[in-house]
Structure 1
Protein backbone atom coordinates (compact mmCIF):
# COMPACT_ATOMS: atom_id res chain seq x y z
CA UNK A 1 0.00 0.00 0.00
CA UNK A 2 1.31 3.43 -0.88
CA UNK A 3 1.50 6.12 1.81
CA UNK A 4 -0.60 9.20 1.12
CA UNK A 5 0.89 12.52 2.27
CA UNK A 6 1.70 12.16 5.99
CA UNK A 7 -0.08 8.90 6.62
CA UNK A 8 -0.16 5.38 5.30
CA UNK A 9 0.37 1.70 6.01
CA UNK A 10 3.73 0.00 6.40
CA UNK A 11 4.27 -3.73 6.81
CA UNK A 12 6.89 -5.02 9.22
CA UNK A 13 8.25 -8.57 9.50
CA UNK A 14 7.88 -9.21 5.76
CA UNK A 15 8.02 -12.84 4.66
CA UNK A 16 7.50 -14.62 1.37
CA UNK A 17 3.77 -14.69 2.09
CA UNK A 18 1.28 -13.39 4.64
CA UNK A 19 1.31 -15.04 8.05
CA UNK A 20 -0.45 -14.47 11.34
CA UNK A 21 2.81 -13.01 12.69
CA UNK A 22 2.82 -10.08 10.29
CA UNK A 23 2.44 -6.73 11.99
CA UNK A 24 1.02 -3.72 10.18
CA UNK A 25 1.63 -0.18 11.35
CA UNK A 26 -0.54 2.80 10.57
CA UNK A 27 1.25 6.14 10.48
CA UNK A 28 -0.68 9.36 10.82
CA UNK A 29 1.68 12.31 10.87
CA UNK A 30 4.13 11.77 13.72
CA UNK A 31 1.91 9.20 15.43
CA UNK A 32 2.25 5.48 14.81
CA UNK A 33 0.04 2.67 16.02
CA UNK A 34 0.39 -1.05 15.32
CA UNK A 35 -2.40 -2.93 13.60
CA UNK A 36 -2.54 -5.43 16.46
CA UNK A 37 -3.31 -2.64 18.95
CA UNK A 38 -5.97 -1.24 16.59
CA UNK A 39 -7.66 -4.63 16.32
CA UNK A 40 -7.65 -4.86 20.11
CA UNK A 41 -9.55 -1.57 20.21
CA UNK A 42 -12.02 -2.85 17.63
CA UNK A 43 -12.82 -5.93 19.72
CA UNK A 44 -15.55 -3.82 21.31
CA UNK A 45 -17.03 -1.33 18.85
CA UNK A 46 -19.76 1.27 19.22
CA UNK A 47 -22.06 0.65 16.26
CA UNK A 48 -25.11 2.28 14.69
CA UNK A 49 -27.23 0.00 12.50
CA UNK A 50 -29.07 1.41 9.51
CA UNK A 51 -31.28 -1.08 7.73
CA UNK A 52 -34.36 -3.20 7.69
CA UNK A 53 -35.46 -6.81 7.25
CA UNK A 54 -34.56 -10.01 8.99
CA UNK A 55 -30.91 -9.69 7.93
CA UNK A 56 -30.44 -6.44 9.88
CA UNK A 57 -32.10 -8.04 12.92
CA UNK A 58 -29.66 -10.95 12.79
CA UNK A 59 -26.72 -8.54 12.45
CA UNK A 60 -27.96 -6.68 15.54
CA UNK A 61 -28.25 -9.89 17.57
CA UNK A 62 -24.75 -11.02 16.59
CA UNK A 63 -23.17 -7.65 17.40
CA UNK A 64 -24.76 -7.66 20.87
CA UNK A 65 -23.78 -11.30 21.40
CA UNK A 66 -20.16 -10.45 20.52
CA UNK A 67 -20.13 -7.69 23.14
CA UNK A 68 -20.31 -4.64 20.88
CA UNK A 69 -22.33 -1.61 22.00
CA UNK A 70 -25.17 -0.72 19.61
CA UNK A 71 -25.66 3.03 20.08
CA UNK A 72 -28.40 3.55 17.49
CA UNK A 73 -30.86 1.70 15.30
CA UNK A 74 -32.35 3.41 12.24
CA UNK A 75 -35.10 1.71 10.24
CA UNK A 76 -38.28 2.48 8.33
CA UNK A 77 -41.60 2.82 10.21
CA UNK A 78 -43.90 -0.20 10.35
CA UNK A 79 -46.46 -0.27 7.56
CA UNK A 80 -49.85 -1.64 8.54
CA UNK A 81 -49.47 -5.07 10.11
CA UNK A 82 -45.98 -5.59 8.62
CA UNK A 83 -43.52 -5.04 11.46
CA UNK A 84 -39.86 -4.60 10.58
CA UNK A 85 -37.81 -7.19 12.54
CA UNK A 86 -35.16 -4.56 13.35
CA UNK A 87 -37.80 -2.14 14.66
CA UNK A 88 -38.44 -4.18 17.81
CA UNK A 89 -34.87 -3.61 19.02
Structure 2
Protein backbone atom coordinates (compact mmCIF):
# COMPACT_ATOMS: atom_id res chain seq x y z
CA UNK A 1 0.00 0.00 0.00
CA UNK A 2 2.86 2.37 0.78
CA UNK A 3 4.41 1.89 -2.65
CA UNK A 4 1.08 2.47 -4.40
CA UNK A 5 0.53 5.69 -2.42
CA UNK A 6 3.99 6.91 -3.43
CA UNK A 7 3.28 6.09 -7.07
CA UNK A 8 0.00 7.97 -6.92
CA UNK A 9 1.55 10.97 -5.17
CA UNK A 10 4.32 11.30 -7.73
CA UNK A 11 2.37 10.47 -10.89
CA UNK A 12 3.85 7.02 -11.31
CA UNK A 13 2.20 3.80 -12.33
CA UNK A 14 2.42 0.08 -11.67
CA UNK A 15 2.29 -2.87 -14.03
CA UNK A 16 1.15 -6.36 -13.04
CA UNK A 17 2.88 -9.28 -14.77
CA UNK A 18 2.08 -12.99 -14.62
CA UNK A 19 4.39 -15.80 -13.57
CA UNK A 20 5.33 -16.80 -17.12
CA UNK A 21 6.11 -13.18 -18.02
CA UNK A 22 8.33 -12.63 -15.00
CA UNK A 23 10.21 -15.84 -15.74
CA UNK A 24 10.70 -14.76 -19.36
CA UNK A 25 11.75 -11.32 -18.10
CA UNK A 26 14.35 -12.87 -15.81
CA UNK A 27 15.75 -15.03 -18.61
CA UNK A 28 15.80 -12.13 -21.08
CA UNK A 29 17.36 -9.70 -18.60
CA UNK A 30 20.03 -12.22 -17.64
CA UNK A 31 20.90 -13.02 -21.25
CA UNK A 32 20.87 -9.34 -22.25
CA UNK A 33 22.88 -7.91 -19.36
CA UNK A 34 24.95 -10.85 -18.15
CA UNK A 35 23.66 -10.15 -14.62
CA UNK A 36 21.91 -13.14 -13.07
CA UNK A 37 18.39 -11.89 -12.38
CA UNK A 38 15.82 -13.58 -10.15
CA UNK A 39 12.03 -13.53 -10.43
CA UNK A 40 11.59 -10.09 -8.80
CA UNK A 41 14.04 -8.53 -11.26
CA UNK A 42 12.33 -10.48 -14.03
CA UNK A 43 9.03 -8.86 -13.05
CA UNK A 44 10.64 -5.41 -13.26
CA UNK A 45 12.16 -6.22 -16.66
CA UNK A 46 8.91 -7.68 -18.03
CA UNK A 47 6.97 -4.62 -16.88
CA UNK A 48 9.51 -2.25 -18.45
CA UNK A 49 9.45 -4.12 -21.76
CA UNK A 50 5.64 -4.17 -21.68
CA UNK A 51 5.59 -0.39 -21.27
CA UNK A 52 8.61 0.35 -23.49
CA UNK A 53 6.58 2.21 -26.12
CA UNK A 54 5.27 4.56 -23.42
CA UNK A 55 8.65 5.21 -21.80
CA UNK A 56 10.94 8.04 -22.76
CA UNK A 57 14.55 8.50 -21.72
CA UNK A 58 16.56 6.33 -19.39
CA UNK A 59 14.83 3.53 -17.50
CA UNK A 60 16.38 2.17 -14.30
CA UNK A 61 15.28 -1.22 -13.02
CA UNK A 62 15.63 -2.15 -9.37
CA UNK A 63 16.68 -5.77 -9.13
CA UNK A 64 16.21 -6.72 -5.45
CA UNK A 65 17.59 -10.23 -5.76
CA UNK A 66 19.92 -12.32 -7.84
CA UNK A 67 19.00 -15.49 -9.63
CA UNK A 68 21.37 -17.49 -7.44
CA UNK A 69 18.72 -18.86 -5.07
CA UNK A 70 16.06 -19.31 -7.75
CA UNK A 71 18.12 -20.79 -10.58
CA UNK A 72 16.14 -24.04 -10.35
CA UNK A 73 12.87 -22.18 -11.01
CA UNK A 74 14.21 -20.51 -14.15
CA UNK A 75 15.96 -23.70 -15.29
CA UNK A 76 12.65 -25.59 -14.97
CA UNK A 77 10.91 -22.85 -16.95
CA UNK A 78 13.47 -23.10 -19.75
CA UNK A 79 13.33 -26.90 -19.79
CA UNK A 80 9.55 -26.66 -20.13
CA UNK A 81 10.16 -24.65 -23.30
CA UNK A 82 12.61 -27.21 -24.65
CA UNK A 83 15.68 -25.04 -24.08
Q: In which range does the TM-score fall when normalised by the shorter chain?
A: under 0.3
* Structure number with bigger Rg: 1
TM normalised by structure 2 equals 0.24
**Which structure has more RCO (C-alpha within 8 Å, separation ≥ 6)?**
2
TM normalised by structure 1 equals 0.24
